[in-house]
Structure 1
């Protein structure tokens, strides 16, 4: 249990500075400067804007709680922006959520100071680009939408509108307006079949709210002001989705339930739910690792793969492990000494792949996939590339 919490703590520590004391259990050496982590600059030509929305589904009761509460979600939109001057950078995780998460991990609130993203809050949209493809992101189990910030920012910097979704009560922590925080009352989820079904419903609801936004209405439950030009930039004819771990299973099942999603990608994603037998007739990219859970050892993933009837590709990232995807890949090697992780424990989390190569994969392959199937351009996925010798292609 201790190591589980250490791994979860490490996964949450991206783009932050650690100001630990001896009472936290993660003490820095006396006299040393705080350890600092930052996301790399996005590689695209566009500045990034972002806005968080509070969405309430009046048609559903929340399936995770016993009180008669409507299902609520928090989502963030990331998009190409103009005139970002005087627009503050959004935090990687809001303060109240960060403090509650640290408390869950047995750390004092304020023991870790979370940093900023590259997304400028409420910045006006760059409308000179016209309508842009939309990509949804679903995180892993017991994680949060913050954990995919690096790859999401990079997509936005190349001209995508990316919508990151939190799934309350299966997410680690979700902060709603006013500082109200939702956490799983049991600590973490174990009913993954139920979680996949709930996430598929969440995704369909979010797509409906995006259609409302495109039609000129404000879907935010608190009627907050929206960035200028946001409704004019969504191309809802070109929607993709991707996710990590359970978010990969959520992606496949959301596609199975809703044909508005044209292409999907799972980053070391699980295979669960009705889509395993039902299959898909639209493009799907399976990214796995050589270890447990990959195509070679996971019969459910192989069954899902056999029932894909459209364009399909299986990529294996050699040297990678389950946490080589998302923001964990950058953070965990840096904080391992602080958290007293052994070399073996670290390799079990992020593999032996160099951090720079894991980040290079994250920047290149999700964008190549969505470029190919939403913009009909690019050739990286045609076959093995000398620029990425660690990537194995299986058609």
Structure 2
């Protein structure tokens, strides 16, 4: 909330409170107060434009204006009580939207030494049909947003937070379109189409995979943070699964539900989803190693011999499967992901990290535990760390979309990511140290990194 909003709402609610509690004392100054509030409303609209959070606020202003215009001597006790209750309700309603969603979320700031640039690739795999849609002529789209080191003095605009922001559907997931009205002002900490830093001729690559149905946007804090430490992070969107994606032809793709055709429950559905994601990852890897990368100065600046992979939730499990299948991937980190289906026999042993939120009670995470134990059996050099105050959503930007009161309430009642900034910084720090040690053939001392943060414990790899 900006200063003009705080001043406007404070003056409005204080005036409404005085009118409710001591109406006789404010009779003489009510009209000037209402006039001041209307002026503040106009100033706010001119400076920042319309916020949906102000809907009950405008209704309160109208109600107070009516009270000011019509003398109270014409009201009986019943009408006075009704007016008081109405003003009280609208005053409370004016504060509630601001306590639920923040109009312009503030993302976690990158902590590395590099400024961050970003660009988007909307690729089409013409060798694959799009099996999710009903059109047999559709080809599979794969959307990749690159986050990378840039020069500190690079100028430009920040990237758009949400894909297709100017052409959104009525709902994005379960959230109404109106929630995203001012997301064009979200500072992603990434300068759009900036020049990649010249500190290195080629940069190591981290492929980042999203959680089930999640869009890449909601991992901006983590991927921008990783890029600031000297990686090119390729965050992949999976169209028709991600809640919002803009395809190569400009079309906006939203989820197409295919779960109902799986009569045997979620296991095969999730396994097939991993298989589709794996094909997307393979396509991206092929784009990086293709013979035409020399024609693209950005792709030619990526080190194809230093590729690692990570992801959150289903993306973390997919990352492990990807490493088992593809020798181009040197290490994998699973962030809170559950494995579905069988794990392919890896072509060689490589380092693996599991970073997780608190898993309590254990009997609710049997599939999660069994899957990750299989991963540790398949890969060498396993590491496992738990952030005990984090929950599954703490690794995403989702908690930052909530205003602090609702974030705290949701965190205490539902365990919904009540410490996102610490979790983001710790996640980036641990992933950076893990990948750096692997890619540079150095000893990995993750214990010292974990000790920088309260509530991170190392768990044994059974």
TM-score (norm 1): 0.80
Aligned residues: 361
Q: Measure, in 2, the Cα distance between the counterparts of 1:32 and 1:332.
A: 9
1:20 equivalent in structure 2: 53
Q: Measure, in 2, the Cα distance between the counterparts of 1:117 and 1:156.
A: 12
Task: For residue 18 of structure 1, report the CA deviation from its aligned partner.
Answer: 6.4
Q: Which has the higher contact order (CA 8 A, sep 6+)?
A: 1
Task: Work out which of the residue numbers 238, 241, 244 in structure 1 matches 2:306.
Answer: 238
Secondary structure of 1:65 counterpart: coil
TM-score (norm 2): 0.69
Gaps of 5+ in 2: 1-49, 57-92, 261-265
Q: Measure, in 2, the Cα distance between the counterparts of 1:183 and 1:385.
A: 38
Task: For residue 117 of structure 1, report the CA deviation from its aligned partner.
Answer: 1.0
Residue 251 (structure 1) aligned with residue 319 (structure 2): yes
2:129 equivalent in structure 1: 61
Q: RMSD in angstroms over aligned alpha carbons? A: 3.3
Equivalent residues in 2 for 1:378-393, closer than 5 Å? 379-382=444-447, 385-393=450-458
After superposition, give the CA deviation of every residue in 1:151-176 in whole Å (9 maximum; x if it has no partner).
Answer: 11111111101101001111111112
2:191 equivalent in structure 1: 120
Task: For residue 104 of structure 1, report the CA deviation from its aligned partner.
Answer: 5.0
Gaps of 5+ in 1: 1-16, 219-228
2:95 equivalent in structure 1: 29
2:119 equivalent in structure 1: 51
Q: 1:356 to 1:180 in 2, by over 3 A?
A: closer
2:156 equivalent in structure 1: 87
Equivalent residues in 2 for 1:1-395, closer than 5 Å? 19-20=52-53, 29=95, 35-68=103-136, 69-82=138-151, 85-96=154-165, 99-100=168-169, 102=171, 104-105=173-174, 107-109=176-178, 112-114=181-183, 115-177=186-248, 179-186=250-257, 191-212=269-290, 215-218=293-296, 229-275=297-343, 281-291=349-359, 297=366, 298-332=368-402, 334=404, 336=406, 341=410, 343-345=412-414, 347=415, 349-350=416-417, 354-377=419-442, 379-382=444-447, 385-393=450-458, 394-395=460-461
Task: For residue 128 of structure 1, report the CA deviation from its aligned partner.
Answer: 2.7
Greater Rg over alpha carbons, structure: 2
Q: Measure, in 2, the Cα distance between the counterparts of 1:124 and 1:62.
A: 33
Task: For residue 373 of structure 1, report the CA deviation from its aligned partner.
Answer: 1.0
Structure having the larger proportion of residues in strand: 1
Q: Measure, in 1, the Cα distance between the counterparts of 2:154 and 2:356.
A: 40
Q: Measure, in 2, the Cα distance between the counterparts of 1:30 and 1:315.
A: 38
